[in-house]
Amino acid sequence: MQIDIITLFPAMLTGFLSESMMGRAQEKDLVKIETHDLRKWGEGKWQITDDRPFGGGAGMLLKPEPLCEAIDSVRKKESLTIYLTPDGEPFNHEMAVALSKESHLVLVSGHYEGIDQRVRESRIDREVSIGDYVLTNGTLPAAVLVDAVVRQIPGVLGAEKSLTQDSFQRNVLGFPQYTRPVEFDGMRVPEVLLSGNHKEIERWREERALEKTRERRPDLFSTKDT
Ligand code: ADE
């Protein structure tokens, strides 16, 4: 899989792309991720990429010409081009799984008040939001999408098992976890986890997970598929 990210702030992604899982996935050739500085396609001596909106109003918009040139220079016939925006489709586990099966993603992160509508209509296949809050630009949302998608690529996570245990794979939140020491700050690890009785442990975990889901995310039960 290949992912190209077009942004005005490529430096925001440097550490994210080289560290931990994202770094390892690329070393293992499971994914190739490239960032592209939109400024490179900016106009004139000042490499301008934005302008005022017609009709007035606060803020600036990304101009269509530099953005379209940037997109056209990286996209291919098989690419899926995604614009990160608070008014996009809500991102979720299902979408991450579906996107992990694509061969090429082009991610466009907006800035200011957004991008010219004609770019959305002519170049963008999907518009995605990472949640109901507004960030200062779409670069972190692009990173969030990349992280969730890349960990779904077979071979990226050490143990494939970790994927099947994902909370949102089965719409149940995680159970409480403990490691050594057995006693910490006056709190003991629940006895059942020390018992070696795998059936009991499994049952305890399932009960705690369902309890937490009922308390925090009752909405998940209406879409529960297991
Ligand atoms: N850009 C700014 N806020 C965003 C959000 N919540 N999701 C996607 N892109 C964004």
Global pTM? Answer: 0.95
Q: What pLDDT, in 10s, does the model give residues 1-12?
A: 999 999 999 999
The answer on 89 and 58 residing in a single domain is yes
List binding-site positions for S-adenosyl-L-methionine.
110, 130-135
User: Count of alpha carbons within 13 Å of 96, Cβ hemisphere only?
Assistant: 21
User: Is residue 182 predicted with pLDDT exceeding 90?
Assistant: yes
In a domain, 157, yes or no: no
pLDDT mean across residues, the chain: 95
Give the CATH number of the domain where residue 209 resides: 1.10.1270.20
**pLDDT single digits (tens) 24-34:** 999 999 999 99
Residues forming a β-bridge with 32: 2
Q: Domain span at residue 185?
A: 165-222
Closest C-alpha to 86, from 42, 35, 144: 144
Distance 131 CA to ligand 1 centre (A): 7
Q: Indicate if 13 and 104 belong to the same structural domain.
A: yes
- Active-site residue flag, 113: yes
One domain, residues 83 and 127: yes
Whether the predicted interface score ipTM is above 0.95: yes
